[in-house]
Structure 1
Amino acid sequence: MAKNLLIIGYVWPEPKSSAAGTRMLQIIQLFQADNYSITFASPCAKSANAFNLESIGVKPVAIELNHSSFDGFVRNLNPNVVLFDRFMMEEQFGWRVLEQCPEALRILDTEDLHGLRKGRQLALKTGEPFSLNYLFNDTAKREIASIYRCDLTLIISEAEINLLKTDFKVPESLLLYLPFLLDKISNSDIEKLPKFEKRTDFVSIGNFLHEPNYNAVLYLKETIWPLIRKQLPKAQLLVYGAYVPQKVNQLHNEKDGFLIKGFAQEVSNVMQNAKVCLAPLRFGAGLKGKLVDAMQFGTPCVTTSIGAEGMFGKLESNGFVENDPKEFVNKCVALYSDEKIWMEKQQNGFDIINTRFQREYFQKQFLKRVEETTKQLFTHRLNNFTGQMLQHQHMQSTKYMSKWIEEKNK
C-alpha cells in the first residue's frame, strides 16, 4: 500500500545555512527508508541556498497562506501523514488538514522549543534569573497548544522532553525524542582529520537569521575575544554564518584578529581546519548544530550551559562548559595551547556522536512509533481531551483570522 507524507515547511530546507535544514533532510530520509512518497510544501519564497529536493525524489510545491487553494491541494493529495515544520505552520494549516484529511496522522516537529528560547531571551534582557514567569510566555502558550492539537510531536532535546513533562504537564504519549541522526565516526575517518599541530585559529559559526547567534558573536566581540587576545596576542577568530547583516560585518577587525568570513560553502573544511570552536550562547533552545559539526570534525568546543543543554547526556563534553566569562576564556586558552587536553576532548566528541546520535537506532524507534500511533489513532485522540478541546471552534482564532484575511484579499 502506497504511503504519502506531506511536509509543510516554515522555510525551504537549507542544510548549508542552518542545523534546522540539516535536520529536515534527516527526517525526510527517515520516511524514505519506510517507502513514503514525499511532498514538501511551503508558503516561503526560495532562496539561492535552498536544497534541491527533487534531486532526492521529493516533490516541492508552493502553497499560499490564508487561501482555500490549500484545501483542494491537500484533499487531492490525501496524505497518510502530515508533518508541520514548527508550530507556526500547524497554526496556519493544521485546521485545514483536519477538515480535509481527518484520518491523516498529524506530526509536529518543533525544531527547538520556541517558547523556551523566547523566555530565556526575555530574562537575559531584564537581567533576571530565568524562571517559570519567563517560561510561560505567549509564544510558549501557542506552541504547547499546537503540541496538544497534533498526534505526535518530535522533540530534539532530552532536556526539552523533561521540561514539557514536568513544567507544562504534557503527556508522554504525545512526545517523541528525535535528536540529530548521524553516521558513526570510524577510526579511518578520524585518521584523515588534521592533527593538533596542523590546525590554526578559533572559529564561530551560525545562521545570523537566528537571534541567539548574533547575540553570541556580539558577546565574543565585546567581552570574550579581548580577553583571549591578551593571553594569545597572535590568535585569530574566524566568524562564519549565513545571512550576515551589516551590523555583523561592522564587527570585522583584522588588527584584533576578529574576522567576519560570511557564508561557509563547506562547513567540514572550516571546522576541521580550526583548532577550537567557540559557542558562548546566552539564550536559545534545542540542540546546537555547530557543536555537532565540531564533534564530527574533531574540533573541541568551549560553550555555555545553554549551548551544552541536551547534548552530552552523562558523557564528558568535547571541551568545556563555562558561563563565567573569565573561566570561559581560560578554558579557550587551555584548549588552544595544550595538545594533551585538546586530544582528550576531541575523543570525547567522537564518543558522544557514536553513542548518542546514531541514525539506525532512532530510525527504528521513530518508524515503530509512527506505525503504532497510526493503528491506534482513534483511541490515541480520544485520550487527548485537551487536544480535542483546542480543536473546538471557540478556540480557533487562527482559523477565523485566516478566513477573514482571505475574504479581505478577494
Structure 2
Amino acid sequence: MTVSILALETSSSLCGVALLTQADEAVRVHALEHDATAEHAERLLPMVDRLLAQQGIGRGQLSAVAFGQGPGGFTGLRVACGVAQGMAFALGIPVIPVPSLLAVAARDPAPVRPGLLHVLVQDARMDEVYLAAYRVVEGGQEPGWEPVQAPILLGAGQVGRWLEHAAMDLRLPQQDGPVIRVLGDALLAYPQLSRDLAGEAWLEIGEPLRPDGPAVARLALQAWHAGQAIAPDLAAPLYVRDKVAYTTLERLNGAGGNPRAPEIQAFLETMRVEHLDEVAAIEQQVQSFPWSRGNFADGLHAGYGAWVARQAGRTVGFCMVMFAPDVAHVLVIAVAPDGQRQGIGTLLLQRCENEARLRGLPAMVLEVRPSNEKALAFYKKKGFELLAMRKDYYPAAQGRREDACVMQKALAAAQAGENP
C-alpha cells in the first residue's frame, strides 16, 4: 500500500506545504516554503498545486490531508484548517490535525533522549509566548511523543517560573546533565529569555525553530498508522486565545493585556503507590462515601489507568479509569477543594479521553449522583449525555440509597484507511 499525505503548516509567518509518500517502508518527503506575513491565503493552494505537479501526484491519489493545528496566528490557523477540510471533503478522505508546537519538538536535531522534557516556546507577539511540553516515549518503530503540558499562553517573563515548577512537580529523573530542553522561536524573539535561563544545570537551550511542513507530515504519518485520522467536519484549529480580551468589569478590577495561564500549572503523572495517602486524603475531603486507600491500591493492582495532578509540590487531584474492550469507564475523578475551578478536573478528564482514543474505544461512561448538580453540569459541558439511571446505586445518608445518572460521551471514530 502506498500512503500519500499532504501537509499544510501556516501557524507562523512560514507558509509550508509538504508531500509525504510511503511505499514498501520507504518514506519520501518533498516540500515548498514561503516566509512572509499576511500572504498565506493567496499562496497556499498554488503551492499545493505546484508541489503535487512536481511530484506527479494527482489530488485523487492522496490518502489524507494534515495541517498544523496551532496554536499560532489566528488567520494562519484558519487558512490551513479550511484548506485541509475543503480538500478532504471534495476527495472523500480524512484529515489529520497535528499540534504545531509538537512539530517544533519533532524538528529538534538533538539526539533522542528518553525522559528528557521538551518545552516549546513560540512567539505569540505582545511580549507573550505559546508554551507546550512533550516527552519522548520509546516503543514501536519510531519514538512517540507524550503530551505533558497542553499549549498555554504565558508572558515571556513567566517562562522561568513555569520551568522551575515543572522541574519540581514532574519529578524529573535524576541524571547527569539537563532534564529539560527549551526550544522554539520565542528564544529569538525574546533574547532575554535565553539569558534568564542560562546557567541552570538541569536545563539546556535548544534552537529557535518553527514548525514546518515536513515535520507536520512525518507526525501525520505516525497518526495515520495509529488510526488517528478524523472526518473533515471534526477538524478545528487549536486556539489558545479563545478569550481574546477581558470584560469591562475585569478591566475595572485591574486586569489588562490578554488572559494568560497562571504561572503555577498542574502536571499529570501516572499514579503510583507513594501517591495513595494524598489521593485518599483528597477523596475523604470531597466525597460523602469515599473510596478507601485500599480501593485505590486494588485499582492500581488491577491495572486500571490512573493519574494524579501535581501542583506546587503536592497532589491536587486524581482520576482512575477502567479500559474495557468496548468502552472506557471513568471510575473516580476528584480535585482537592482548594484546587477546584482551575481547570484541573478538565485536565484529568482529557487524559482519560485521550487514553481511550489511543485504545480505539468508541465511548466513555461514568456515574454521578443526581444530587451532585455541579458535577452534572461539568460533565454535560464536556460533552457527556444522560444514558440511563441506575436505581439505588450509591449509599446515602441514614442507610438510604441514591440513584446514579449513567452518562456517556461518544468519541470521534478514527477514519484512517486505504484509497481504492
TM-score (norm 2): 0.28
Which is richer in strand?
2
Higher relative contact order (CA 8 A, sep 6+): 1
